[in-house]
Amino acid sequence: MGLRRGASLPALGRALPNEDADELSWLLFRQDDVISLGQALDHLSRKAIRHRVATGRWRQVHRAVFVTHTGPVSTVQRRWVAVLAAGPIAVLGGLTAPQVAGLRGFGSGAVHLLVPAACRRGPLPQGVRLHRTTHLPDEDVLVVGQPRRTMPARSIVDAAQWAASDGEARAVIAAAFQQRLVGGDELHRVLDRMPRLRRRRLIASTVTDAAGGAHSLGELEFLDLVRRAGLPEPTRQKVRYDSAGRRRYLDAYFEPWQVHVEIDGGQHLDPAHAWADMRRQNALWIEGDRVLRFPSWALRARPTEVIAQLGAALRAAGWPG
């Protein structure tokens, strides 16, 4: 049998069950070796379930949920445990749903579930956060894939409104655009359907800026500084081509004055990344651009100095402001 229900650890690179495998084996394969009591009773007696737990083949991880091994519970299995513990109308939402789709840069942390507002549930497993909503249309739920989860646009909007801070909310939105998980139109459609959304104004403005090319939290903060200072607004993610014909993107480009600003994040501690950026900067200088570089921390700790240097560069390049 391709799926060994009695294995001591979950299989890596899971193999499909054999064609003659029973329905229980296929169910466990689909659910990453996690099963609810109700599902188990469709295939086994209570005595058989108790025997599997007593002999160590299964482990009870919640009052009515089991994993069919005795090793560590993986991140994927934790999501299944959460959904099965909450019941069939629960869906993965918030940060958890885009993490299933590949969102990077945020720790696995809690498992976020979304249920209708009228839904009542008993205690859920540790690390599960339950959110209630009065608005969950079919178009906001992914119809393929398991466990069920909200669509990327709805997921990112919810993740932003549930975030611990405004900065985290903006970072989630920027990362989703940077990693090409969402687009501006679909996010605005979700916002149009949710007029009472928490942080709605902040989310809407961040979505607009991210759709316009500000694909990191540093770039969003820089754009805020520029606007507050009354400086002209730059083009974001301006496309340029290097001497080898490769496409490059400029963080912020004040095109009429050929002033280019790079926002340096943590990746610039890596020598390879740093040299690549220096080489690109040198090429821009050769072409006649003025290039300014600011570390992302300076945007928060030294905003006056950042704006002073930017204003000086723009005036030196001919801006009459």
Instruction: Inform me whether the pLDDT recorded for 28 exceeds 80.
Output: yes
Least Cα distance to 128 among 178, 53, 78, 194 occurs for: 78
- Reported as a single tens digit per residue, the pLDDT across 263-301 is 876 544 455 656 566 666 666 666 678 888 888 888 888
DSSP symbols for 210-270: HHTT--SHHHHHHHHHHHHHTPPPPEEEEEEE-TTS-EEEEEEEEGGGTEEEEEE-GGGGS
The number of angstroms, rounded, from the C-alpha of 201 to the middle of its chain's C-alpha atoms is 20
CATH code reported for the domain at 217-316: 3.40.960.10
At 245 the pLDDT is 65
SS3 73: coil
Ordered by start, the domain boundaries in the chain are: 1-71, 74-211, 217-316
Averaged pLDDT for residues 34-55: 95
Q: Band of the pLDDT at 242, cuts 50, 70, 90?
A: low
At 212 the pLDDT is 76
Q: Report the alpha-carbon distance of residue 93 to residue 103 in Å, rounded.
A: 13
Q: What angle do CA 258, 264, 269 make, to 5 degrees?
A: 140
Query: 150: which DSSP letter?
Result: B
At 299 the pLDDT is 87
At 286 the pLDDT is 60
Q: Which residues of 44-67 are buried (b: 16+ CB within 10 A; e: fewer)?
A: eeeeebeebeeeebbeebbebbbb
Q: Report the alpha-carbon distance of residue 142 to residue 144 in Å, rounded.
A: 6
- Reported as a single tens digit per residue, the pLDDT across 186-199 is 999 999 999 999 99
How many other CB atoms are there within 10 angstroms of residue 42's CB atom? 11
SS3 187: helix
- Reported as a single tens digit per residue, the pLDDT across 171-183 is 999 999 989 899 8
